[in-house]
């Protein structure tokens, strides 16, 4: 499918006020509010359009499978450092940016937004717009391309993106510690203030797991300093992959609980926030800053606990999302979101309501 065909499709939809549901593999349809409108697939937009390993950037069309891009990066010993999740092994480049989700290394190496260098999109008027470039310092003023990360397709049909890539680390090592949640949070905060090559962390069910990554000497020195049990690489790699793609034991159990009426929440908190005494299973990532909770508690109780700790709660998976997926916005923030939506999609046809019902 050519860009001009897509532009005409959006112009026609705008004239008719026909809602469009932008979709790739559909691997993240569960995320956000329920998709609405006529399906508009990006899968015909497939392929890597530019890749310069020495310049540390890659450009790809929106419908390109994430697995294809990562396979090409791996051939050159490079990667997306933010470890985007691949639900069921699926996902496209456009969906990766639109959802804005990151994996275990996010706290150490940054989010999707931090690695997004540029984007091409078609707005609700059918206009082709190009933002950003191929290096970090390429804009003056508001960096529109980064506003697309996590926008769930509400600002435009993403057709192509350019992302920063990084080399694979020279050495990695996984350590395990037996700790309760309070002990793990204290240790993570203590270690977070030290020059240690901690790339990822996860606590669940009485065990804290760390992934060290970097130069061989730095990793070995940190291992000696921290102690813990060294997890063999052939066991550690599947663990981190399962955590990244939400296919490990915690998330499999969470899906079963959700099917029975519980809810899976993602809490974004200050890493120094203390243990939250919430009923249900908890998994902690990002040095304490991301906490997954699967619980039958009422939404108001979960959101109140998150707000009391200085953060907010997102309803990640649930059979019933009438309470709203994302934390309620203040009146001024609603106005900002509405003005931004109107500027890019004046007819309100692109993924209506995926972030908030009023958008």
35, two tokens: 């998709």
> Is residue 289 within 8 Å of 107, Cβ to Cβ?
yes
What is the CATH T-level fold of the domain 171-245, as seen in this structure?
Alpha-Beta Plaits (3.30.70)
* CATH match of 3-167+336-344 with 3.10.310.30: no
For each of the chain's 359 residues, which pLDDT tens digit applies? Answer: 678 899 999 999 999 999 999 999 999 999 999 999 999 999 999 999 999 999 999 999 999 999 999 999 999 999 999 999 999 999 999 999 999 999 999 999 999 999 999 999 999 999 999 988 665 555 544 578 889 999 999 999 999 999 999 999 999 999 999 999 999 999 999 999 999 999 999 999 999 999 999 999 999 999 999 999 999 999 999 999 999 999 999 999 999 999 999 999 999 999 999 999 999 999 999 999 999 999 999 999 999 999 999 999 999 999 999 999 999 999 999 999 999 999 999 999 999 999 999 88
Domain boundaries, the chain: 3-167+336-344, 171-245, 249-317
Contact 116, 145 (CB under 8 A): yes
Q: How far is CA 259 from the centre of its chain?
A: 23
CA dihedral 5, 11, 15, 17 (to 10 degrees): 90
Q: Which residues contact 246 (CB under 8 A, 6 or more apart)?
A: 85, 87
Instruction: Say which CATH class 249-317 falls into.
Output: alpha beta
pTM to 2 decimal places: 0.94
Q: Render pLDDT for 8-67 as a digit per residue (tens, 0 to 9).
A: 999 999 999 999 999 999 999 999 999 999 999 999 999 999 999 999 999 999 999 999
Rounded CA separation 98/108 (Å):
22
The mean of the pLDDT values for the chain is 94
Instruction: Examine domains 171-245 and 249-317 and report if their fold is the same.
Output: yes
SS3 assignment, position 226: helix
């Amino acid at each position: 499918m050519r860009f001009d065909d897509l532009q005409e499709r959006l112009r026609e939809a705008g004239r008719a006020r026909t809602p469009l549901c932008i979709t790739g593999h559909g691997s993240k349809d569960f995320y956000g509010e329920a998709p609405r409108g006529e399906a508009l697939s990006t899968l015909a937009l497939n392929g890597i359009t530019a890749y310069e390993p020495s310049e540390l950037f890659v450009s790809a069309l929106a419908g390109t499978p994430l697995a294809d891009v990562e396979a090409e990066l791996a051939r050159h010993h490079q990667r997306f450092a933010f470890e985007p999740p691949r639900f069921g092994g699926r996902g496209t480049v456009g969906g990766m940016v639109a959802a804005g989700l990151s994996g275990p290394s996010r706290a150490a190496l940054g989010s999707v937004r931090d690695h997004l260098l540029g984007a091409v999109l078609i707005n609700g008027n059918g206009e082709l717009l190009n933002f950003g470039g191929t290096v970090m310092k390429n804009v003056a003023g508001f960096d529109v391309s980064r506003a697309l990360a996590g926008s769930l397709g509400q600002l435009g049909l993403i057709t192509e993106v350019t992302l920063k890539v990084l080399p694979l680390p020279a050495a990695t090592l996984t350590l395990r510690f037996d700790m309760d949640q309070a002990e793990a949070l204290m240790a993570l905060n203590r270690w977070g203030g030290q020059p240690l090559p901690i790339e990822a962390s996860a606590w669940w069910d009485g065990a804290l797991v760390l992934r060290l990554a970097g130069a061989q000497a730095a990793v070995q020195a940190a291992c000696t300093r921290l102690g813990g049990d060294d997890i063999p690489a052939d066991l550690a790699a599947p663990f981190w992959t399962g955590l990244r793609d939400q296919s490990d034991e915690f998330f499999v159990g969470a899906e079963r609980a959700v099917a029975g009426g519980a809810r899976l929440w993602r809490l974004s908190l200050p890493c120094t926030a203390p243990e939250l005494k919430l009923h249900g299973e908890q998994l902690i990532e990002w040095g304490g800053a991301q906490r997954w909770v699967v619980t039958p508690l009422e939404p108001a109780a979960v959101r109140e606990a998150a707000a009391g700790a200085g953060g907010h709660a997102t309803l990640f998976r649930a059979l019933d999302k009438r309470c709203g997926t994302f934390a309620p916005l203040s009146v001024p923030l609603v106005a900002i979101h509405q003005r931004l939506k109107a500027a890019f999609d004046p007819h309100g046809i692109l993924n209506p309501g995926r972030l908030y019902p009023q958008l």
